[in-house]
Amino acid sequence: DSGVTQTPKHLITATGQRVTLRCSPRSGDLSVYWYQQSLDQGLQFLIQYYNGEERAKGNILERFSAQQFPDLHSELNLSSLELGDSALYFCASSPRQALGHYNEQFFGPGTRLTVL
Amino acid sequence: GIQVEQSPPDLILQEGANSTLRCNFSDSVNNLQWFHQNPWGQLINLFYIPSGTKQNGRLSATTVATERYSLLYISSSQTTDSGVYFCAVEYGGTYKYIFGTGTRLKVLA
């Protein structure tokens, strides 16, 4: 158990719908990362937050958005869902991270999203 | 952007055999981790190893940052080692991990 929690574990929804995935980082970790794992694209970085602020952005679609709240949990919002959004979505966290310093990332169990 | 290549893509072993998995990257990295994704999809941290050598039980890893590669050694493999092994690198102050395509390992009893 990495200490990172994600809910829900599984989510089945229809095209055009909107869903919210939730992540709680390890106690004390300030950084949260979101990744998408699909069969054809592999594991891809989406976005990172550090202490409530967006720090880095990857291949995140405009239909997707995220935020990190004052209690450090994070939510990933996916809207206007398409069949191709079906994937495993991972959240990871890492400790306090001053600029220029890098730390190990710990991954949650993932949320498996199926869009029908 | 940086390219991360892993080899071999697939590996089948008999229980008890040893193996070496390789991760090559095309640019200098700040950070490198090895993960095992088990059949249930969970990503398990194996090593945080931007440089040097580490060992943990039957597993060990070496990263030679100047030559842009990392190796993961699995000795006396067990069926529970089956799954996909990923290396992931962080580079250029980007704070994001770029994952390799993985090595799919199957250990036969």
For residue B68, name the pLDDT band (cuts at 50, 70, 90): very high
Nearest to A58 by CA among B31, B97, B4: B97
Distance of residue B18 Cα from the nearest chain A Cα, in angstroms: 27
Distance of residue A99 Cα from the nearest chain B Cα, in angstroms: 8
Answer yes or no: are the C-beta atoms of A51 and A95 closer than 8 Å. no
Q: Which two tokens stand for residue B56?
A: 């943990």
Q: Which two tokens stand for residue A94?
A: 């890492």
Measured between CB atoms, which of B30, B96, B101 is closest to A58?
A: B96
For residue A41, name the pLDDT band (cuts at 50, 70, 90): confident
pLDDT reported for residue B52: 95
Which residues in chain A have Cβ-Cβ distances shorter than 8 Å to B48?
Answer: 104
B 46-65 → A contacts, CB under 8 A = 48, 50
Q: Residue-wise over B38-63: b if at least 16 C-beta within 10 A, else e? A: eeeebbeebbbbbeeeeeeeebbbbb
Would you say residue A10 has pLDDT above 90? Answer: yes
Q: What average pLDDT does range B63-92 have in this prediction?
A: 95
pLDDT reported for residue B94: 75
Q: Which two tokens stand for residue B75?
A: 């000795």
